[in-house]
Amino acid sequence: MPSPALNDNWAATWNSRRKRYQLVIGTVVMLSIVACLPSFFAHIQKRKGAVLNDWLLARIPPHNVSLLLFALIWGMILLIVIRVIKTPSIYITFCWTLLFVYIMRLTTISLVALDPPPGMVPLVDPLNSAFYRNAVITKDLFFSGHTTTVFLIFLCLERKTDKIIALIATCAVACLLLVQHVHYTIDVLAAPVVVYPCYRLTRYLFFK
């Protein structure tokens, strides 16, 4: 049974017209973008892209670390869901920042056509595979969506211990993506550089 504090937090958020609009509009727009992703990625998979000369990747033998990668990613998603249940403002921050990040990411993927790195081992995630109708997506490269997600969770979490765990997970996910040759080094490094300004924009617009 939900605690009174939990109910009070969400009731106070919902009773504020401004925050209610933020919740509803952010969720609807985000779900609309997500619904378009399968078609978008099916399109970019057909493109011919460049293969980058990546000095670091050339020195890392490729290995399949999908299980560990998704254990970290879904573990962090579970953590932020637990925190959101008690703190609605975390959801508002995460939702709107992710919305801005998606716009940036779809733009950069459209403008920067890349083929997968040599030796890439495809990621296998049963949940995402069902959403994308079992299509293998390998050209959504610049910038890394997996690094983006975990780094954004790090930014949105409020407890010090949570943030430490999420930061370690972000570094681990970034490294494991390179080990599996799923992304170029620049894809992973660019993710935090793009996400942080989007996060600051959300905080400025909604929480100044």
Question: Comparing C-alpha atoms, which of 90, 100, 89 is closest to residue 199?
Answer: 100
CA 179 centroid distance within chain: 19
Helices (H), the chain: 4-15, 17-44, 66-86, 88-111, 126-131, 145-156, 160-179, 185-207
Amino acid identity of residue 116, one-letter, is P
pLDDT tens string, the chain, 208 residues long: the values are: 455 555 678 889 899 999 999 999 999 999 999 999 989 999 999 999 999 999 999 999 999 999 999 999 999 999 999 999 999 999 999 999 999 999 999 999 999 999 999 999 988 776 665 555 556 789 999 999 999 999 999 999 999 999 999 999 999 999 999 999 999 999 999 999 999 999 999 999 998 7
The answer to whether 142 and 194 have CB atoms below 8 angstroms apart is no
Give the Cα separation of 60 and 120 in Å (integer).
11
